[in-house]
Structure 1
Amino acid sequence: MRKLIFNYVQTHKGEILNDWIEQMRQQADERTFTAMSPQMFTKTSSEFIELLISNFTETEREFQAKLTGFAEKIVKFGWPLNVVTLGLQTFRQIVSDGMRKDGLVDRDNFMEFVTEFDHWMFPLNDAIIASYTNTWERTVSLQKIALQELSAPLIPVFEKISVMPLIGTIDTERAKLIMENLLNGVVTHRSEVVLIDITGVPVVDTMVAHHIIQAADAVRLVGAKCMLVGIRPEIAQTIVTLGINLDQIVTTSTLKKGIEEALEMTERKIIEVEEKR
């Protein structure tokens, strides 16, 4: 029966692929495939079917290498795990229906077919899920490390004046890192005024505002002043709507205005000098 299944899959590979693509497009969340072109989806789907077939023909080491490479690709494309498991179920159904239609599987040998197919598919299913999960966890871990390395540096722009540009979503874990970098930077650079620039923060909700207020309070405790700059009109509207109190923090709409005010706080200002002719 195992050889019968393999021969059918090999000789009907094109039909199986076409049916698989059509059914996956109908059953899976369409957002899964929007990140790639139809040609790329077809190519990736073909690789998936080839991967399933290779479990029949290749050694365990060769199959595992292919499996890891494919898992890394679909993680990069953003395929969720449920799409991978749906793909396996769809493949099984297509093969089962096709072999029945061709008279290769009937009532007499159906249980033998199910037993043999499950004997092949269950370890394959476990291997694919394990490889996908490991790849995803590794990717998330690397992204988290990269985010921590790039996250929230305190940059001295003038003597006694530093800027902390914030980019992306701020969660509790990242807020702790921001607080740590902020306080260490204030002491290291001997900053008297710190500008927290939220131009790159897409959403300011109650939690984000709470973290910013805590950061400003901490800066005051080490003897510096804190300003919040880069407040876009939509962010200002959200802050007012949520009733967030920023009375204790100086705010400006742009970093440029914030630096000008910070210079005044440190008894300096920018003077334009005309060029001599």
Structure 2
Amino acid sequence: MSKEEFEFIGKKIFKNRVELARLLNKNIREYTKEHSEKFTLLESESLNYRSQLIGYFGEALYKNEKEVFKSVGKWAKDVANLTIRYGISLTQILRVISLFRPVIWEIFTEELEQNRFSCNTIVEIASRFDKLIDSVFRITGEVHDQHYNELKKSASIELEELSVPVVPISSGIAVLPVIGSVDYDRAKRIMEVSLNEAIRLKLNYFIIDFSGVSIMDSIVANSLFQIAKTLQLIGVEIIITGVRPSIAHVINRSGLDFNPKIINSSLENALSDLGFKQVSTV
């Protein structure tokens, strides 16, 4: 095999990149119709991106390999981000990328039929294309994975915020209704939110209602004790309401010395003690 052979077929691919992209678009339309999948990219937009990649396949045979791989890497990142913006799944885009191979192979088949190049030359060229395709697969997958992880992290943060909802009642008074089980991580989150919101809202009284909590261990009970002590240090009076007998037993068994004044039987009673009265609608 010679450099001239590589350059000949590489430039032929580059010269015909737009026509090959049109053929690819046709194949994709047939493929997506068969699989009942729709792609929202405009025809002109998809033609431009696909012809670019086909052009890089051609340049890989007669230009600096590192530079071509760099261009292909940028192309893969741009297209992967574009597919995310258009709501195209990773599975869909990988299926489309896989269709580049048969289109490129049409040129190979033509050259083989005309006996212009040896089989060894075609195999070597195919090997280079496979490396480029593999890099596109890898980079596209990495971009989609990163996007998925960011979404998951964002959803986790939103869920955490929803799990610790501080509700202002009036000037200087707020309630934190805790629902569900409380583990160490959530207790830590409760402490962080309690301190931040107590300062932000300039609270005098902070009520934490545990009537919706079913499970709490001694470690979490200790965290609760620390929340009370810390808030008291910054001048906030903490009131704990809705403590179930099972949770009271855990607190007792832990030997924690809670001030009786900060524990109330119910949220209603605590608000009543603070001057809130039920208004009759009759």
**Shorter-chain TM band:** 0.5 to 0.7
Task: Name whichever of 156-165 and 69-78 sits farther off.
Answer: 156-165
Matches within 5 A, 1:35-184: 36=40, 38-39=41-42, 42-55=44-57, 56=59, 57=63, 59=67, 60-98=69-107, 100=109, 103-106=110-113, 108=115, 109=117, 111-112=119-120, 114-153=122-161, 154-158=165-169, 159-162=173-176, 181-182=189-190
Deviations 1:142-174 (A, max 9, x none): 333333443332223223523579xxxxxxxxx
1:191 aligns with 2:207: yes
Contact 2:76/2:136 (8 A) holds in 1? yes
Deviations 1:29-62 (A, max 9, x none): 54462xx3x52x5413531331242251572434
Secondary structure of the corresponding residue to residue 157 of structure 1: strand
The alpha-carbon deviation at position 178 of structure 1 amounts to: 5.8
Alignment match, 2:256: none
Contact 1:160/1:193 (8 A) holds in 2? no
Flag structure 1 segments of 5+ consecutive residues without an equivalent.
166-174, 196-212, 227-260, 273-277
* Separation in 1, partners of 2:132, 2:194: 55
CA RMSD of aligned residues (A): 4.1
* Length-normalised TM-score, structure 1: 0.55
| AA at the equivalent of 2:242 | K
Contact 2:207/2:241 (8 A) holds in 1? yes
Deviations 1:193-243 (A, max 9, x none): 369xxxxxxxxxxxxxxxxx7x554499765339xxxxxxxxxxxxxxxxx
Secondary structure of the corresponding residue to residue 111 of structure 2: coil
Larger Rg over CA atoms: 2
Percent identity reads 7
* Separation in 2, partners of 1:113, 1:93: 18
Distance 1:52 1:15, change over 3 A: closer
Contact 1:2/1:116 (8 A) holds in 2? no
| AA at the equivalent of 1:157 | P
Matches within 5 A, 1:260-271: 266-267=271-272, 268-269=276-277
* Separation in 2, partners of 1:25, 1:73: 19
Secondary structure of the corresponding residue to residue 138 of structure 2: helix
Alignment match, 1:5: 9
Give the number of aligned pairs.
205
Distance 1:8 1:263, change over 3 A: farther
Contact 1:193/1:262 (8 A) holds in 2? yes
* Separation in 1, partners of 2:207, 2:23: 65
* Length-normalised TM-score, structure 2: 0.54
Alignment match, 1:16: 20
* Separation in 1, partners of 2:190, 2:94: 45
